[in-house]
Amino acid sequence: MTAYTATVTVRLKRGVLDPEAETTQRALERLGFELADLRSADRFEIDLDADDADAAADRAGEMADRLLANPTVHDYDVAVEQRE
């Protein structure tokens, strides 16, 4: 088994309202910042042991499907790195 860190980034699908991001953008604009758009995402960094990188990615994807992401409103992507 090898030690990996799988990073799962969970975003709202395009077109789904993101009140948190809108509120954050308004607050930044009130502070005088200029920005065209702002999107927020949740990121989970998961340390796990697996036979190889694909197995680590598969397991992280299963975690996203079953808990971390709501398939109705979220998209997610998985990136895997070997851990020292």
The whole-angstrom separation of Cα 15 and Cα 31 is 27
Count other C-beta atoms under 10 Å from residue 56's C-beta. 25
User: Based on CB atoms, which residue is closest to a second copy, 13 or 39?
Assistant: 39
Query: Binding of a second copy at residue 48 (CB under 8 A)?
Result: yes
Q: Which of 14, 15, 17, 66 binds a second copy (CB under 8 A)?
A: 66
Q: Which of 2, 28, 71, 81 binds a second copy (CB under 8 A)?
A: 28
User: Backbone phi, then psi, for 19, in 5-degree steps?
Assistant: -55, -35
The whole-angstrom separation of Cα 77 and Cα 60 is 10
Shortest Cβ 45–a second copy spacing (Å): 4
Kindly compute the dihedral angle of the four CA atoms of residues 65, 67, 69, 72, in this order, to the nearest 10 degrees.
Answer: 80
Shortest Cβ 72–a second copy spacing (Å): 19
Residues contributing to the site for a second copy (CB under 8 A): 3, 9, 21, 24, 27-28, 31, 33-49, 59, 62-63, 66-68
